[in-house]
Chain A
Amino acid sequence: MLSISNLHVSVGDKPILKGLTLDVPAGEVHAIMGPNGAGKSTLGYALSGRPGYEATEGAVAWKGADLLALDPAERAAKGVFLSFQYPLEIPGVPAMTFIRTALNAQKRARGEEEVSAPAFLKLVRAASTALKMDFDMLKRPLNVGFSGGEKKRMEILQMALLEPSLLILDETDSGLDIDALRIVADGVNAMRSPDRSMLVITHYQRLLDYIKPDRVHVLVGGRIVASGGPELAHALEAEGYDQYMVQAA
C-alpha cells in the first residue's frame, strides 16, 4: 500500500503541495484530478524523487520503506514507475539498450539475476507485439523523432517490461488520439493486478472512461479536497473545479 501523509513539497521557494494525505491500497487504481497548477505533476515528481522537488514535511511509505529517503533509481528498483506527460528523448541510446540497461540495473539493485540479451529480446518482441508497435522502432534512439502517441506507447512498453508495482501515470492521455488512447489504456489495464497500485493523474475525465478508477480524488491548492467513487469524475466533468477552488482559497 502507498501511504502519503501530510506531504509538503516545494519547488524552489514555492510551496506546491501543502499537506497532501492519500492512501492507495494494493490492487487499486486511484485517479487524481485537478485544475492546472493544482500540483498534480508535482505529486508524480515528488513520489519518484525528481531533484528540485523537495519534501519539506510529511512522509511517504511504500512497501514498508521510507520512499523520500531513497534516490530515484532506488525508488524505481522498489517498483515506482512514473509515466511522463512528456517522455524525454535520449539521443544515441537505442530504446532496446535503454530498457535492458534499466531492467538489469533494477534487478541488480534487488539482488536478482540479470536478464540475458536473447531472453530480453524474446520479452521485448512479445511486449511490442501486444502494443502493436513496430519492432524496428526499438532499435532507434529512445523517443527521438517519435510522435506523441509513439512516445506514450513506448512508456507503456517500458512499464510492461519493468513490471513496476506502483504506477504513476501523469496526464497519459495528453497528445493521444482516440485510437492511440485505446491502445495505451489497454496496455495499462493489462497491468492491473492485486499486488499493483496505480495513481492516474489527469485533468480530464476522458481517460477514466478507458482506465476505470476505484477511487477519485480532487487535488486543488496542493491538497486532496474531495474523494469519492468513479461517479465523482463525471460530476467534475459536468461542474468543473470551481466549487473546490473557492473552498481551497
Chain B
Amino acid sequence: MNAPVRIDLKDVETIPSRRTEAWKYSDLRRWLRDEPPLSPALPEGEPNDGPFKALTVNEVLIANGRLNWWSEDAMEAGIEVSHHAGPDAPRTADEMPMGALAAAKALDGVHIITFKTGAPHVLALRLLSDAVKTGHHARIGVVVEAGAHATLLESHEGRGEAYLSNTLLEIIVEESATLERIVLIDEPHDAISVSSAEVRLSKNAAYHQTIAASGAKLQRLETRIAHAGEGATVRMDGLYALSGDRHTDLTSVVDHLAPDGLTSQLTKGVVRDTARGVFQGKIIVERGADGTDARMGHHALILGERGEIDAKPELIIYADDVQCAHGNTVGNLDESALFYMQQRGIPADEARALLTEAFLIEVVDRIAHEGAREVARTWLTDRL
C-alpha cells in the first residue's frame, strides 16, 4: 500500500506517478512538473449554452474554477444553490489526492446544489475551462434530499490549451432519493484534467452515472461510491472514444458497506491511433453487506496497431451471501462481420463506424433521461 499523499504542486515528489499503484497507468507527475499559474477569471460566460442547453433552463456555470453564472431568476422551485467555506478535506481525501487538492485550492470554497423533494429536477452543471497554460480547481457539493429525484447534466467544456483543470464533486443522495448524473467531457488534446467524485448513498437511494469522455493529454475521471445505507442501487457506466494521442482514465471504487445493495457497472470504449484508455474498477463488499449484487463489465476495441487499453477490474468480497461478477474484454472489430457488411455494399469505413457505434451504444441506451440519452447518442456518433 502506498502512504496517503498530500499533493503539493510545488513539490513534484508529491504528485502521483506510475509508481503510485492507483495512478500507474496515468502518470500525472510526467506531465505536471510545476504548479501552473492561476487561470484568470472569465467575464460572465455564455449562459444557457453547452451540450444540454435544450433540456433545461436550470443551470450552474463554473468557469475556470469560479462560479460564473447561475440561473438564479429562472431556477425552478426546489433547487437551491448556496455557498460555503467548506470543510477542509473530503471524506476520502486519502484515496483521492487530487480531490483533496481541489478542496484545498478551490477559490470559492464549495458551491452546494440542493435538490428538494417535489417534482423531478433537471439541472445543467457546466464546468468551463478557457485557459492557456494555467490551472484552476473547483469544488462542488450536490445534495439530493430524502425522497427527491434529480438529473444532473454535467458538461466539461474545454477551450484554450495546456491547462490544468481539477474538480471535486461531493454528492450525497439521501434516503429513497434518486440522482442520475450524465457527464460529457470535451477538452483540448493537451489539457490535463482530473475530476473526482465522492458519492454517499443512504438507505434505498439510487445513483445512476454515465461518463462520456474523449480524452486529453491526461484525463482522469474518478468516482468513489459508498453504499452507506442498505438497499441502495447504483448504475455506473463509462464510455470513451479516443483518437490521436489522447488518454482517458475511468477509475472507480464502489464500497458496499450495507446489505442488499445493487451495483451494475458497464464501461465501453474504443481507441484509435496511439490513444490510450484506462479502466480501473474496484468493487468492495464489506463484511455484513449480505445480499449485495454487484456486476462490472469493461469492454473495449482497439482499432489500429498502436492504441492501448489498460484494464484493472477488481472484486474484493468479505461478505458471504453475495452475487458478484466481472467481465473484461479487449479486442478488434470482427473481420468476418466487416466483410459481410462490405459485401452488401457498405464501404469499409462506414462499416467500421457502424460496428463501432453498435458496440458502444449499449452504454448510451442505459441512460434513463430521454433527452440526455439523445444528446449522448449524438456525442458518440460525432466521434466515430
A51 to B, closest residue via Cβ? B339
Over the window 295-313 of chain B, the binary record of Cβ atoms lying under 8 Å from chain A Cβ atoms (1 yes, 0 no) is 0000000000000000000
Q: Give the shortest distance, in Å, between A153 (CB) and chain B (any CB).
A: 16
B359 contacts the other chain (Cβ, under 8 Å)? yes
- DSSP majority for the B interface? helix
Q: Which of A91, A99, A103, A158 contacts B358 (CB 8 A)?
A: A91
A106 in contact (CB, < 8 A):
yes
Q: Cβ of A87 < 8 Å from any Cβ of B?
A: yes
Taking a contact as CB atoms under 8 Å apart, the answer to whether A90 and B345 are in contact is: no
Interface size class of B (residues with CB under 8 A): 20 to 34
B18 shortest CB reach to chain A, Å: 35
| B318 lies within 8 A of chain A by Cβ | no
Q: Please name all residues of chain B whose beta carbon is closer than 8 Å to the beta carbon of A80 when the two chains form the complex.
A: 343
Chain B's nearest CB lies how many Å from the CB of A83?
10
B343 touches A92 (CB 8 A): no
| Residue among B334, B335, B354 making CB contact with A51, cutoff 8 Å | B335
Residue numbers in A under 8 Å from B340 (CB-CB): 84, 87-88, 90
Q: Let me know if B345 and A93 touch, CB within 8 A.
A: no
- The answer to whether A71 touches B343, judged by C-beta atoms less than 8 angstroms apart, is no
A169 at the interface (CB under 8 A from B): no
| A73 adjacent to B354 (CB under 8 Å) | no
User: Inside 8 A of B334's CB, which chain A residues have their CB?
Assistant: 88
Residues of chain A with a CB closer than 8 A to B341's CB: 90, 98, 102
Taking the closest CB of chain A, its distance from the CB of B211, in whole angstroms, is: 21
A18 to B341 alpha-carbon distance, docked (Å): 28
Complex contacts, B157 vs chain A, CB 8 Å: none
- Give chain B residues whose Cβ lies under 8 Å from the Cβ of A158: 344
Q: What separation, in Å, do the CA atoms of A39 and B8 have in the docked complex?
A: 69
Q: Does B82 sit within 8 A of A, measured CB to CB? A: no
Q: Shortest distance in angstroms between B268's beta carbon and chain A's nearest beta carbon?
A: 11
Q: Which residue of B lies closest to A159 (CB)?
A: B344
CA separation between A84 and B355, bound complex, in Å? 19
Which of chain B's residues have a CB closer than 8 A to the CB of A141?
358
Chain B residues lying within 8 Å of A184, measured Cβ to Cβ, are none
Instruction: Tell whether A216 is near chain B: CB-to-CB under 8 Å.
Output: no
A185 in the interface (beta carbon within 8 A):
no
Bound-state CA distance A72–B344 (Å) is 8
Selected contact of B344 from candidates A50, A76, A92, CB within 8 Å: A76
A130 shortest CB reach to chain B, Å: 20
Q: Which residues of chain A are near B336, meaning CB under 8 Å? A: 88
Binding site for A on B (CB under 8 A): 334-337, 339-348, 350-351, 354-355, 357-359, 361-362
Which residues on A are within 8 Å of B, measured CB to CB? 48-51, 71-73, 75-77, 80-82, 84, 87-93, 98-99, 101-103, 105-106, 109, 141, 158, 162
| Complex partner residue of A73 from B337, B345, B355, B361, CB under 8 angstroms | B345
Taking the nearest CB of chain A, how far is it from the CB of B318, in angstroms? Answer: 36
Nearest CB on A from B166, distance (A)? 36
Q: Which of B342, B343, B350, B358 has the most CB of A within 10 A?
A: B343
Known: A49-B342, A102-B345, A105-B350. 13 other contacts (CB 8 A): A51-B339, A72-B339, A73-B342, A73-B346, A77-B345, A80-B343, A90-B337, A90-B340, A92-B358, A98-B344, A101-B346, A105-B345, A109-B347
Most buried by B among A84, A102, A106: A102
Q: Within the assembled complex, what's the spacing in Å between the Cα atoms of A98 and B348? A: 14
The residue on A at minimum CB distance from B334 is A88
> Nearest 10 pairs between A and B by C-beta?
A92-B358, A76-B345, A106-B345, A102-B344, A72-B342, A88-B340, A102-B345, A73-B342, A73-B347, A105-B345
Chain B residues near A77 (CB, 8 Å)? 345
B338 to chain A, nearest CB (A): 9
